Amino acid sequence: MIQKFRWLCFGLALVAGSASAQTIESFEWLPDAAGSVARITFNANVRFLRQAPAASTATDLAQLSFQIVAAEDTVQLQTVEEGKRLKAIADAPDIDISYVPVARAQTKLISVRLGAKALLLVRQGSGARTIDLVFNARSAIPEGPKLPDMAEAAAERRYAVVLQSAAGGAAAATPRIPAEFQNYSVYTQSPAGSNGVGYELMLGYFKTEQDAEVVRQRALRTFPTASVRSLSAPPQVASAPVTATPLPAVTPNPATAAVQPKVEVNVSDSDGKGIDLLAQGQKAFKEDRLQDAVDAFNMVLMLPPNAYTPVAQELIGRTWEALERPDKAITEYELYARLYPQGEAIDRVNQRIKAIKGAMQIARAPGATKNKSDKKRLSATGSVSQYYYGGQTKTDSLVNIASGIDQQTLTRTNQSVVVSSWDATGKYETDESITKLVMRGSRSDNLSSASATSTATQGLVSAAYVDYRDIASRTDVRLGRQSAIGGSLFGLFDGVSMATPVWESYKLDAMIGVPANTLINAPQQRLMGVMLEADNLFEHWGGNVSLVDQTTEDISDRRAVGLEVRYFGETVSMYTQLDYDLNFNAINAMTIQGSTQGPYDTTITMLLDDRKAPSLQLSDALISSGQPSLSTLLQTMSLSQAQAMALATAAQARQAMVSVSRALSPKWQGSVDFRYSEVGALPAIGNFQAQPATGAQYNVSLQLTGSNLYSSRDINGFNVSLLNSATVNGTQLAYNNLTGFMDNIISVEPSIRYYTQVDNTQTKVSRISPGLRVSYKLNNRASLMAEGIYETSQTDGPTNHETSESYFFYFGYRYDFQ
């Protein structure tokens, strides 16, 4: 481990190259989240669209779709595959994500592979640059309209719902009954004609078949084979007697020891399987095998409801307390309180909820004394990867000329590049602080003959910094190449930043440094920025106000104020950003985006975005003037003239989108996307000719996604997209597939796209592109990947006919260390 950390330190000094940005900045567990949440943070504003399979289906292979709203060119034009991995935590599996950029694709895909099947809910994060993966988050999914009342009178009990049938002893595989069904009777019975072998898990009772069908539709989320059954005589629900068996005392947490109650739980052996599992859990608890205890109590909770279900519900909360997971303990205790408001343990459970919440509030208070363990931990995580990219194009052209038809054939190698990437984090933790050393970047070596006239090797560094966090004061200091703190600050910079709480719900961020990703080579650039951020100012609300000042040769290059307002709830999120440039007295960027998750795995997202491209700054005038610096430019014109030139260089770019997706059945999802985009005209300025506006462009995309159609791990996407604008009409048909074999050791991703368009000059273009990507896990750390794409296109115009064939491929490896 020490050698890994030294390697990181050496590498940090070695990679001082030019800057670039990978699309994914980080992937990490959120330590303070309620539940198990893994957050993907991007180097771009993104908008989550949908996931497959649906959130109500347990899976170990998934895909999430998103759109890049705004990003630097290095992100928009990225072609290199990215991958990141997280180790399992107590209640969530290993996660491996991979992102393969696709040129010209508006919808981007990230593949998610899990170490074990789990319920996964994907949603927009708390900001415009994050997407969250939430595990076992059924409570975060709205359950739809009010369910019908249960039929109370025996004469009215005409229908029931068969949740699940089993021919043998498969009770342990039964999912937990959702809390929304707590007001119905749940019972088991032997199937007709089975001679007592197997069981049927029933939910009742209902007056009409329509009422039963409403409940069946809701139950399909958890029980995909649920059906409605007509009853001739409703069975009686038996209750089991309970006798006393003591529960071992939970090891007291020093913060809550004063209010820790003594608990005794009563059980009997009238239900063999439930009592056996409960005894296993109690034994594991006593022997301090706490994770084994959680597993045993969970197995009791997955049995058909019986006398031991509420007992296990309480005990699993006690076990999470012993594991020092108060968030999980509260979740389980509150579920007990909802399901069993008259239960034998309700007083104890309410006492524990109150005690834990009180302890958590005390622990969060400024100056709170912590129990110091004097533990020091050194760790290193990350990955290295290397890929070879190759490709070639052959073009045949026929051109009408005065003397006849001229034919030309051109064959060229498009690329031959080796790309090496690294992503490494070293961490040193004590009870007082956390120090991290982070390094991310890539290096490309051009092996083609074109390297004689272009840069053969490029070093691309997207992060290289040291981060120190003082736990008591919650102050962060970061030094090196890093992403801007947000607000009105864009891109990467080399410098120092600091974040520290200033009041109970406020945090102050400050930074100073040199821009690392500049559109032009402006000399002597400096930037400073401050941001006041508020979280939980009101319930679920937050935001920030920021000020940035950037100079070039001591001339004010960019001075802007930014405002962000965000709402982040369990099912609804909204994000608004405004950037106003004080030098130009103009709005630089304005964004509103939001998403909501509704019943039946419905996701609705929207986006409105209006911005300058490139973003406003005085040095934009150097692009069209050809001058080497602002000081030289201002010798030839006034400041107002230079501002007018910079403003004329930036186009007005607008886009809007609405996307709706929902589950059509347990295996099928449907979605529709409506997109609008437009880029304004640019006047003739300096060395630039006038550029006409693109005009409004409209795109409608229909997507049908099938999951687990022919196996337990397959995702199939069928897409039709229609493009319409003043100059071109286009249609695309696409199919993509992701299938995992041998417990996801091998994954295969075939795809095919057909695109055709006709422009206003009656030139027709047709293009078909089949492709195949394969990945193979050598072990938990090493993987091999390869992809090949073949494309053939044909262009027919009034004066020319052209056909071309292209193929592109890459192959390589990725190694994760931790």
One-letter identity of residue 693: A
Please write the tens of the pLDDT for every residue from 357-376: 887 776 655 555 444 444 56
pLDDT of residue 412: 67
In the numeric block, which tokens belong to residue 208? 């009409």
Query: What is the chain's percent helix, strand, coil content, to nearest 5?
Result: 20, 50, 30
User: Dihedrals φ, ψ of 137, to 5°?
Assistant: -105, 40
Q: How big is the CA angle at 177 (ends 176 and 181), to the nearest 5 degrees?
A: 160
CA distance 110 to 103: 15
First to last CA, the chain: 9
Hey, what long-range contacts does 575-583 have (CB within 8 A, 24 or more apart)?
575/124, 575/127, 575/128, 577/45, 577/128, 579/488, 579/611, 579/615, 581/616, 583/556, 583/558, 583/559, 583/616, 583/618, 583/643
pLDDT of residue 172: 39
Contact 336, 345 (CB under 8 A): yes
C-alpha atoms less than 13 angstroms from C-alpha of 696 in its C-beta half-sphere: 4
Contact 49, 659 (CB under 8 A): yes
pLDDT of residue 3: 43
Count of other CB atoms within 10 angstroms of residue 172: 11
Q: Is the pLDDT of residue 153 over 60?
A: yes
Q: Which one is predicted more confidently, 399 or 71?
A: 71
CA distance 50 to 64: 6
Please write the tens of the pLDDT for every residue from 198-234: 677 888 889 998 899 888 888 876 777 788 998 865 4
- Quickly list DSSP for 733-795: EEEEEEEEETTTTEEEEEEEEEEEEEETT--EEEEEEEEEEEEEESSSSEEEEEEEEEEEEEE
Name the band, by pLDDT with cuts 50, 70 and 90, for residue 154. Answer: confident
Count of other CB atoms within 10 angstroms of residue 789: 19
Q: Is the pLDDT of residue 803 over 80?
A: yes
User: Dihedrals φ, ψ of 654, to 5°?
Assistant: -125, 145
CA distance 441 to 443: 7
Q: How big is the CA angle at 473 (ends 468 and 478), to the nearest 5 degrees?
A: 25
pLDDT of residue 246: 39
In the numeric block, which tokens belong to residue 638? 């006034």
Q: Is the pLDDT of residue 9 over 50?
A: no
431 Rama class: left (phi>0) / alpha (psi -120 to 50) / beta: alpha
CA distance 39 to 542: 18
> What average pLDDT score do residues 310-331 get?
87
Q: Look at 170-174, 578-582, 800-804 and tell me which has the smallest mean pLDDT.
A: 170-174
Average pLDDT along the chain: 81
Q: Is the pLDDT of residue 254 over 70?
A: no
Name the band, by pLDDT with cuts 50, 70 and 90, for residue 642. Answer: very high
Please write the tens of the pLDDT for every residue from 161-190: 988 877 654 443 456 677 677 678 777 776
In the numeric block, which tokens belong to residue 202? 């029933």
Q: How big is the CA angle at 667 (ends 222 and 142), to the nearest 5 degrees?
A: 45
Which residues make Cβ contacts (< 8 Å) with residue 536, sequence separation at least 6?
Answer: 505, 542
> What average pLDDT score do residues 591-619 get?
89
Pick from 536, 584, 534: which is nearest to 557 by CA? 584
Q: Is the pLDDT of residue 745 over 50?
A: yes
Q: Is the pLDDT of residue 53 over 80?
A: yes
Count of other CB atoms within 10 angstroms of residue 15: 18
